Amino acid sequence: MFSSKVGSSDWCSNARQLICVFRMGKHILVVEDNMIIGLVTQRILISAGYDVPELLTSGQEAVAYCKGMCPDLVLMDIQLEGGADGVETMLEIRSFCQCPVIYLTGNSEIKSREKEALIGFNGFLVKPVQKQELLDTVEKVWA
């Protein structure tokens, strides 16, 4: 059962468990063509209690996936190899699924942000992303 003593290690452990229960219901799709970055991102989110069942590497895969299940959030790399980029992919996904998106990019120039503004976005992260920065940005989507 939950301990009411604030500051006790039991209370802190219980608080972390409650946060994980809240997060467990959130389904996040990661679309990243760099497998190492994608796997690290997926692992960070899973360890924080989020449901991240798939790591996709192309816009085409992301569109097909979202037609079957609309996620609570998409983490989308802007520059995907081959085919549509992340912004074009989100345009297509949002034609049938109104999910929030956090864009990931290796390019920190302001020009990249101008393109995302065309369809709106809920967050923007420049790679390499730090763990706490990723988690804080994800949390802000539902704040």
Q: Give the architecture-level CATH label for domain 26-141.
A: 3-Layer(aba) Sandwich (3.40)
Measured CA angle at 79 (ends 28, 98), to 5 deg: 40
Q: What is the pLDDT of residues 15-38, one digit of tens each?
A: 444 444 445 679 999 999 999 999
What average pLDDT does this structure show over 41-67? Answer: 94
Determine how β-strand 28-31 pairs with β-strand 73-77.
Answer: parallel
CA distances from 141 to 48, 79, 137 (A): 15, 22, 7
Contact criterion met (CB below 8 Å) for 39 and 15 = no
What average pLDDT does this structure show over 98-119? Answer: 73
pLDDT at residue 109 in the model = 63
Q: Is pLDDT at 5 greater than 80 in this prediction?
A: no
How far is CA 98 from its chain centroid? 15
The dihedral region occupied by 58, where left means phi > 0, alpha psi between -120 and 50, and beta the remainder, is: beta
pLDDT level of residue 87 (50, 70, 90 thresholds)? confident
- The pTM score is 0.80
Supply 102's token pair: 């956090």
Contact criterion met (CB below 8 Å) for 77 and 86 = yes
What average pLDDT does this structure show over 99-117? Answer: 73
Supply 60's token pair: 């085409």
Supply 40's token pair: 């690290």
Query: Structural domain boundaries of the chain?
Result: 26-141
Residue keyed to tokens 């692992």: 43
